[in-house]
Amino acid sequence: MIRNLQTILPRTARYLVLTHVEPDFDAIGSVLGLCRSFQQAGYSISGHVETIPFFMQSLPGIETLSTILPENLYDYEVIALDSASRERVYQQDWLDHAKRIVNIDHHQDNPLFGDENLINTNVSSTSEYLYTLLSEAGCPMDESVIIPFYAGILYDTGGFRYSNTKPETLRIASHMMNPYPYAISSLSEQVFSRWNRDSFQALSHALQRIEYWMGERVCFSSIPYSLCCSLPSLAYEGIVDILRLHYAVQMILFIREIEPGVIKGSLRSKPPLTVSQIAKPLGGGGHLRAAGFTTKGISLDELRAKLADMVASYFSEETL
């Protein structure tokens, strides 16, 4: 049974809505949709994010988000959205000083770091989950709420192509689209046609360094810091999903050295394979078929060798 969101989040409190670092469409969409709905319902609430990517600038209400904490604010509660762990939330010190943390998420490995934890791993995205929670609570749901939520669902399902797309996901998407067909139909361009010159240069780096393991079942690519430092970090976002388009590849491992000695990994797989079991020993997590990690104190070559061993062990167990 869905718990009533307005019971868990009474109007008497002041809320800061936060999400994970390097926010994607589900993160931004969740923050925007919840804030706009609650603002219309009379809440004192504001959204705060690490950065706003250029390709999200046309989302309704994007100008209301802030990257800084309001001054002289001491008595507040935090709503943490789409964050697989406390460590992923932007920013940590805002969490430390919150009177209460309400954790709303859809990641299967969320450690329940909030004082209240609303976790639903059966939905495609946090945006879908919030849409359901707000609908159940009878909260306002106009275009400024629906469009950001739809963008989040669209992104996390890969345009309704990934295995997290359920019949309920499609029913909700259809219900969202009915009142706003033109606005909804134009979102695909915004969500998926977000590449620029830097993005294509980053993709070129990744393609030039591709390796295939286990025949062509696994695609691996690594980018050293000497190349990463020449482009903004945002340029590398989404590359793992491009590598996923190879029809024969079932598992994708994309790693890049974002600082000397600091490596970020993005992992994807196609059913029935999973990648969460590879991310977790490296300090990461996420979903069964879309996970990530950041590791320190290891070189690209050492991490490549470690990943190769982990993949070989995974495939040997798969064939038993």
For the beta carbon of residue 73, count every other beta carbon within 10 angstroms: 12
174 and 299 share one domain: no
Instruction: Using the 3D structure, point to which of 169, 192, 215 is the last residue of a domain.
Output: 192
Q: Is 134 a residue whose pLDDT tops 60?
A: yes
pLDDT category of residue 301 using cuts at 50, 70 and 90: very high
Token pair recorded at residue 206:
């990744």
CA-nearest of 84, 87, 26 to 287 is: 84
Q: Is 180 a residue whose pLDDT tops 50?
A: yes
Q: Is 261 a residue whose pLDDT tops 70?
A: yes
**Domain at 44, CATH number:** 3.90.1640.10
Q: Is 220 a residue whose pLDDT tops 80?
A: yes
Task: Name the domain count of the chain.
Answer: 2
Contact of 66 with 50, CB cutoff 8 Å = no
154 and 218 share one domain: no
Residue 194: alpha-carbon gap to chain centroid? 16
pLDDT of residue 209: 97
Crossing angle of helices 143-156 and 126-137, in 10° steps, is: 150
The residue type of 85 is S
Which pLDDT tens digit goes with each residue over 10-54?
Answer: 999 999 999 999 999 999 999 999 999 999 999 999 999 999 999
pLDDT of residue 152: 98
Q: Is 320 a residue whose pLDDT tops 50?
A: no
Contact of 259 with 228, CB cutoff 8 Å = no
Which pLDDT tens digit goes with each residue over 182-193?
Answer: 888 889 888 998
Q: Is 267 a residue whose pLDDT tops 80?
A: yes
Q: Give the percent of the chain with pLDDT over 70.
A: 98
16 and 148 share one domain: yes
* DSSP per residue, the chain: -PPPHHHHS-TTSEEEEEEBSS--HHHHHHHHHHHHHHHHTT-EEEEB-S---GGGTTSTTGGG-BSSPPTT--S-EEEEES-SSGGGBS-HHHHHT-S-EEEEE--TT----SSEEEE-TTSS-HHHHHHHHHHHHT----HHHHHHHHHHHHHHTTTTTSTT--HHHHHHHHHHHTT-HHHHHTHHHHHH----HHHHHHHHHHHHTEEEETTTTEEEEEE-HHHHTTS-GGGGTTHHHHHTT-TT--EEEEEEEEETTEEEEEEEE-TT---HHHHGGGT-EE-SSEEEEEEES--HHHHHHHHHHHHHHHHHHHT-
**Domain at 246, CATH number:** 3.10.310.30
107 and 155 share one domain: yes
186 and 205 share one domain: no
Q: What is the mean pLDDT of residues 184-207?
A: 92
Contact of 284 with 318, CB cutoff 8 Å = no
Q: What is the mean pLDDT of residues 116-134?
A: 97
pLDDT of residue 3: 62
pLDDT category of residue 194 using cuts at 50, 70 and 90: confident
292 and 176 share one domain: no
pLDDT category of residue 159 using cuts at 50, 70 and 90: very high
Residues 6+ apart with CB under 8 A from 297: 261
43 and 158 share one domain: yes
Share the mean pLDDT of the chain.
Answer: 94
Q: Give the percent of the chain with pLDDT over 90.
A: 85
Range of the domain at 129: 5-192
Which pLDDT tens digit goes with each residue over 140-157?
Answer: 999 999 999 999 999 999
Token pair recorded at residue 218:
């696994």
Q: What is the mean pLDDT of residues 200-206?
A: 97
pLDDT of residue 278: 96
CA pair distance 236, 224, nearest whole angstrom:
12
Counting every residue written for the chain, the total comes to 320
* CA-based max dimension of the chain: 60
Instruction: Using the 3D structure, point to which of 175, 192, 209 is the last residue of a domain.
Output: 192
The residue type of 75 is D
Enter the pTM of the model: 0.92
229 and 168 share one domain: no
Crossing angle of helices 167-177 and 126-137, in 10° steps, is: 70
206 and 248 share one domain: yes
157 and 230 share one domain: no
CA pair distance 263, 282, nearest whole angstrom:
11
222 and 187 share one domain: no
Q: Going by DSSP bridges, is the β-strand pair 251-259/262-269 parallel, antiparallel, or unpaired? A: antiparallel
pLDDT of residue 204: 97
169 and 211 share one domain: no
pLDDT of residue 1: 40
Instruction: Using the 3D structure, point to which of 165, 192, 219 is the last residue of a domain.
Output: 192
Q: Is 71 a residue whose pLDDT tops 80?
A: no
pLDDT of residue 139: 95
pLDDT of residue 319: 59
Q: Going by DSSP bridges, is the β-strand pair 218-223/77-81 parallel, antiparallel, or unpaired? A: unpaired
Q: Is 72 a residue whose pLDDT tops 80?
A: no
Residues 6+ apart with CB under 8 A from 203: 195, 239, 242
